[in-house]
Amino acid sequence: MNSLTLATPEPANAHSAEPIVRFEQVGKNFAVEGGQLEAIREFSLDIAEGESIAILGSSGCGKSTLLRLLIGLDRDYRGTIKVDGKAINGIGSERGIVFQEHRLFPWLTVEQNIKLGLINEPLTQAERYRQVDAFIQLVGLDGFQRAYPHQLSGGMAQRVAIARGLVASPRILLLDEPFGALDALTRQQMQEELLAIRARAGITSLLVTHDVEEAIFLADRVVVMAPRPGRIKRIVEVDLPHPRNRGSYEFLQLREELLHELTGDGDYRPPAPRVQDLPLTSIAY
């Protein structure tokens, strides 16, 4: 783990109050049959360098859409999204993403899939392999370098996707429900790893989650969204020192408060269950 060559970036805006990411009145519509679906309305948020934001909201409230806009995959939106004070123009190597589904290429091995994250980096082949190997160790997949995605469990595939998102040492890491497919124990371990990586590399992170506890464990601020159209309902600061104790009174109190915020107005839609979470009977019928 000590061999990781994570960038320790000199904050680009250390001497100014300028945020590393700024959403200004961002809105997004989708053309759907019979008209327009307003997915996001007037989303404004400043994120400071090194800050960790969690976006919490019910299914369909526009969380993945927001990340797609920030990563630069979709340019058709209202308002402005700035990184380092400049409006974004497509994708950029300072931003990395871990998608909601792992999106690995089935014909590439674990090693080759992770190496794709370095495609735009000016590294020698040996440096690439060294960096890829360090991240394989980090996510606990040593020995699976030459395995193909179909030979992995869902959780292992998701860990490959996390390694691919991190391997180029992005300054801003976007994570869309990255730990959703992991068992409870691995999930906690990965959350702790993410904290360690962030502390070491000074990464700014934007994590989408349905899990209130995960949001409180990881984030400096939790942005609670309301659905239809997706908009900010409330921003809650998590002023607890790290490492956070999931069983402490303050933690549990905040958890209650956020759960209430999320579900209190009866507008909450839980995520669709994954196939592996369904009881066999619901699959059989």
Ligand X SMILES: Nc1ncnc2c1ncn2[C@@H]1O[C@H](COP(=O)(O)OP(=O)(O)OP(=O)(O)O)[C@@H](O)[C@H]1O
Smallest distance from ligand X to CB 99, Å: 11
Using the contact rule CB under 6 A, the part of the chain among 56-64, 136-144, 161-169, 245-253 near ligand X is 56-64
Compute the distance between CA of residue 273 and CA of residue 278 in angstroms, rounded to an integer: 7
Report the sign of the C-alpha dihedral through residues 180, 176, 36, 266, in that order: positive
In whole angstroms, the minimum distance from the beta carbon of 197 to ligand X comes to: 24
Rounded least distance, CB 173 to Mg ion, Å: 17
User: Rounded distance, CA 152 to CA 145, Å?
Assistant: 11
Residue 157 binding partner per list Mg ion, ligand X, none, with a CB distance cut-off of 5 to 8 Å that depends on partner kind: none
Of the candidates 41, 53, 65, 244, which one interacts with ligand X according to CB under 6 A?
A: 65
CA distance 147 to 143: 8
Can residue 32 be called a binding residue for ligand X (CB under 6 A)?
Answer: yes
* Complex with ligand X: residue 39 or 219, whichever CB lies closer: 39
**CA 246, 252, 253, 258: dihedral to nearest 10 degrees?**
90
Tokens of 168: 């180029």
Closest to ligand X by CB, 77 vs 144, is: 77
Q: Which stretch binds ligand X (CB under 6 A): 60-68, 106-114, 129-137, 195-203?
A: 60-68
Spell 189-206 as b/e; 16+ CB within 10 A means b.
ebbebbbebbeebbbbbb
How many residues bind ligand X, per CB under 6 A? 14
Q: Which of 22, 41, 63, 221 binds ligand X (CB under 6 A)?
A: 63
Amino acid at residue number 238 = V
Measured between alpha carbons, how far apart are the two ends of the chain, in Å?
A: 47
| Residue 66 or 132 having the CB closest to Mg ion | 66
Please identify which residue in 30, 242, 245, 278 interacts with ligand X, judged by CB under 6 A: 30
